[in-house]
């Protein structure tokens, strides 16, 4: 689940680690690739076969500090938050990123506004 992924990324950056291994799921792979595209992590690779697949995530640092300053979970299992593309606002005046689960897959808030698609807001990261 993406909640564990983000928590492990933040903790690993605070500990100064170079990479982490995380159990594979398609949703976590897509979220990690979006974070890599936007500079929050260096890269992500899928490794292993069958049931022993995992993601190897290389962390990114800026001036010896982790690229992830913080995050906030918007939707929780007990409370789901849905927003239309008109209600999506920039995170931290454009320095952050919101990740949405839409009918066309998982995407950032910028892509969702561009495609005029709303969806479930999973989390915000900056």
Residue 103 CB contacts under 8 Å (≥ 6 apart), including other chains: 117, 119
17-39 pLDDT, tens digit per residue, is 999 999 999 999 999 999 999 99
| Token duo for residue 50 | 């069958």
Instruction: Tell which residue, 77, 75, 61, has the closest CA to residue 19.
Output: 61
86 pLDDT more than 90: yes
One domain for residues 54 and 41: yes
Whichever domain contains 50, its CATH number is 3.30.1370.30
One domain for residues 88 and 115: yes
One domain for residues 55 and 17: yes
Q: Please state the domain count of the chain.
A: 2
One domain for residues 62 and 75: no
One domain for residues 7 and 20: yes
CA distance 40 to 65: 12
DSSP letter at 79 equals: B
CA distance 70 to 68: 6
- What is the residue range of 95's domain? 71-125
Return the sign of the alpha-carbon dihedral for residues 1, 14, 73, 33. Answer: negative
48 pLDDT more than 90: yes
One domain for residues 7 and 61: yes
Q: What average pLDDT does this structure show over 94-103?
A: 96
């Amino acid at each position: 689940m993406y909640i564990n992924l983000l928590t492990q990324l933040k903790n690993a950056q605070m500990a100064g680690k170079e990479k982490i291994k995380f159990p594979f799921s398609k949703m976590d792979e897509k979220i990690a690739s979006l974070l890599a595209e936007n500079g929050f992590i260096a890269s992500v690779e899928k490794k292993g076969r069958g049931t022993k697949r995992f993601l190897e995530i290389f962390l990114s640092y800026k001036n010896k500090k982790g690229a992830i300053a913080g995050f906030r979970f918007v939707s929780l299992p007990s409370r789901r938050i849905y927003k239309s593309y008109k209600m999506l606002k920039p995170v931290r005046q454009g320095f952050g990123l919101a990740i949405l689960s839409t009918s066309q897959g998982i995407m950032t808030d910028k892509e969702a506004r561009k495609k005029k698609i709303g969806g479930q807001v999973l989390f915000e990261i900056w």
